[in-house]
Structure 1
Amino acid sequence: MISLGFPWALLLLPLPLLVHYLVPAHRERVPALRIPFFRRVVETVGSEPGPGSVVLGRSLLQTATGILIWCLLVLALARPEKVGQPIELSKSARDVVLAIDISGSMDARDFQTPAGETLQRLQGVKNVVGSFIEGREGDRMALIVFGSKAYVQSPLTQDLQTIGDLLNQTTVAMAGPHTALGDSIGLAIRTFETSDIDQRLLILLSDGTDTVSRMSPVNAAEIARNKGIEIYTIGVGNPEASGEDKVDLETLKQIAARTRGQYFFAQDQDGLQQVYDRIDALAPRETETLSYRPRRSLAWIPLALIAGLGLGVTAYLVLTTRQRAHS
């Protein structure tokens, strides 16, 4: 389909006619003396008469060429464009950050699969979270892992394949043996600072008790709430253990409550899968569909025709001048 980017330019088409009628050519009357038998008088005195005023006329070809050039120039100003078929793009309407605990306690082999097999906690988490990531197509996601320190494995991206690959490459205690729960929330807040999307969700999974963070998890949750971040917390592991191996369910509950999020607890892989299914139901994927039509400018066509006409007229004038000079 052909359209005009600036159709108002077509209003310039009658401009030469308006100029012709409203601003006519300058004409000047001067006094003159008419002499009868002018040619005989001139011959008698032996003088050569000079030419008088000459009003040049226009040929039909010149008029048609001028009109055509003006029309092509106005058409170029109107910016003709070739409009393609609509193209739709999906843009994420929510940003999600996954914060996964990989402290030393995640090495415990007490995670039961539906088949009754016992897995390492981190491996069981990887299996469930990997499926969750694959099902979030359309969301932008980031991955944070934390132990004694919190690290961004991947900033916000729609490349979910890379998120899954990076998660699979993590190992227990690669970020230190302890649990920095509050620091992981603080790092998630900084990660969201690059986002211009209002809906922000942090999914925080931990199996231990915070002992090394510079900021308490509850205070970090307060800051997250002020930044418009909703936090879903997931506790895994043994709440009856001691020390850092004991999952701090009370803190996870407070974090979720402070940000108007949700708290979950999972003792095995099947329970964790149900948790992520529940999160999918509570926070379904949200996308914005953007539609646009590609446009390709065709203004060069009338400009090229004008250039061609100009060359043709120039060549015609040169040839005519040479023929008159030889004749």
Structure 2
Amino acid sequence: MTFANPAYLFLLLLLVPLIAAYVWKLRRSQASMEMSSSEAFDVKGITTAKVRLRHLPFVLRMVAIALVIVILARPQSTDSWQNSSTEGIDIMMAMDISGSMLARDLRPDRLTAAKNVAASFINGRPNDNIGLVVFSGESFTQCPLTTDHAVLLNLFKDIQSGMIEDGTAIGVGLANAVSRIKDSQAKSKVIILLTDGSNNRGEIAPVTAAEIARTFGIRVYTIGVGTQGEAPYPFRLPGGTIQMQMVPVDIDEPTLQQIASITGGQYFRATNNSSLKSIYAEIDKMEKTKISVREFSKKQEEYTRIALVVLGLLLIEWLLRITILKRIP
């Protein structure tokens, strides 16, 4: 048995002065006048039980107080193992953070919408190893594969357009994600690649990166973000004001479809916030792998039984005081 709040056990030291006070009170209550003989007052057989039990209420009260302190310390049992099945895979997210991701056909803009939906996706998969790669003209790893999703989500919040040289290096971003997940021992390895443009930078072609992913058994889901035709984009004027202008939406869908086809994944197009959420929800449903694990059971609170014992002790004390040990003023 362990205790969630073991510091409370030091309160047991309070029993020492309580016991000392009780003993001191008993000594003071002794008769100050002594008699040479008390045979005439011998009532043996009538008060023996009362004499023997006269300290029992105090003992019961001390035990009850001690058990209350133990309850405050929150006793817990952790002595059982259990076999269970859970769902867990390794997922690397490759996200485009180029300047075009600031277009506002998604609300409040493509990048923020993508971050918010991805965060919800991560929160819904607590058993997965998930990492994050970002790319524009270059690529770098924002977070390696981890089950510490709190750290991952904090790093997610930090990404913004302009962190690295602008452009759209889809092949480099995908290759970086592959390098981070290829040595995984998981049965299922997945990359979710999100972009709103066409590959125009980098030394690695997107299809070449897809071939490498297939070699390592990595499935790639590609997401093209952006409405059809044109999208509003914020341009900063010399005076610091923002002016919205319509710009063409240029997504290389054939290449994204080819990447998904080569790796056994699937291509999606997100034209608004709701469709982006639906895409992640669909990926979430498709990527479920059952794995058996043997894990230590959750800690169980054990104070309920002790509380019942405390109530029982207090009840016995009360019954003794109103029956056998009842005092007549």
Change (3 A) 1:244 1:202: farther
**Does the alignment pair 1:120 with 2:124?**
no
Contact 1:105/1:177 (CA < 8 Å) preserved in 2?
Answer: no
Sequence identity percentage: 37
Q: Secondary structure at the match of 1:98?
A: strand
Instruction: Tell me what 2:156 maps to.
Output: 167
* Alignment map for 1:1-327 (pairs within 5 Å): 84-86=79-81, 93-111=88-106, 118-238=107-227, 240=229, 246-284=250-288, 286-291=290-295
Secondary structure at the aligned position of 2:261 is classed as: helix
Is 2:270–2:276's contact at 8 Å kept on the other side of the alignment? yes
Q: Deviations over 1:49-104 (max 9, x none)?
A: xxxxxxxxxxxxxxxxxxxxxxxxxxxxxxxxxx9522568887421001111011
Alignment partner, residue 64 of structure 1: none
Cα pair 1:239 1:248 within 8 Å, conserved: no
Q: Contact 1:234 / 1:266 at 8 angstroms: preserved in 2?
A: yes
The TM-score normalised by the length of structure 2 is 0.58
- For the residues of structure 1 that align with 2:194 and 2:104, how far apart are their CA atoms? 17
1:135-179 Cα shifts (integer Å, max 9, x gaps) = 011010011111111111111110112211111111112122101
1: CA distance, partners of 2:281 / 2:210: 24
- Give distance in 2, aligned partners of 1:166 and 1:244: 31
Aligned partners of 1:199 and 1:229 also within 8 Å: yes
Q: 1:84 to 1:193 in 2, by over 3 A?
A: same
- Which has the greater radius of gyration? 1
Give the C-alpha shift of residue 269 in structure 1: 0.4
Whether contact under 8 Å (1:105, 1:245) holds in the other structure is no
Which structure 1 residue ranges, 5 or more long, are not aligned?
1-82, 112-117, 294-327
Structure 1 distance, partners of 2:146, 2:84, is 16
**Unaligned stretches of 5+ in structure 2?**
1-77, 232-246, 298-329
Counterpart code for 1:188: A
1:277/1:101 Cα in 2 relative to 1: closer, same or farther (>3 Å)? same
Moved over 2 A (4+): 87-93, 238-245, 284-288, 290-293
AA matched with 1:254: Q
The 8 Å contact of residues 138 and 172 in structure 2, kept in 1 or not, is answered as yes
CA distance in 1, matches of 2:182, 2:275: 33
SS in 2 for 1:119: coil
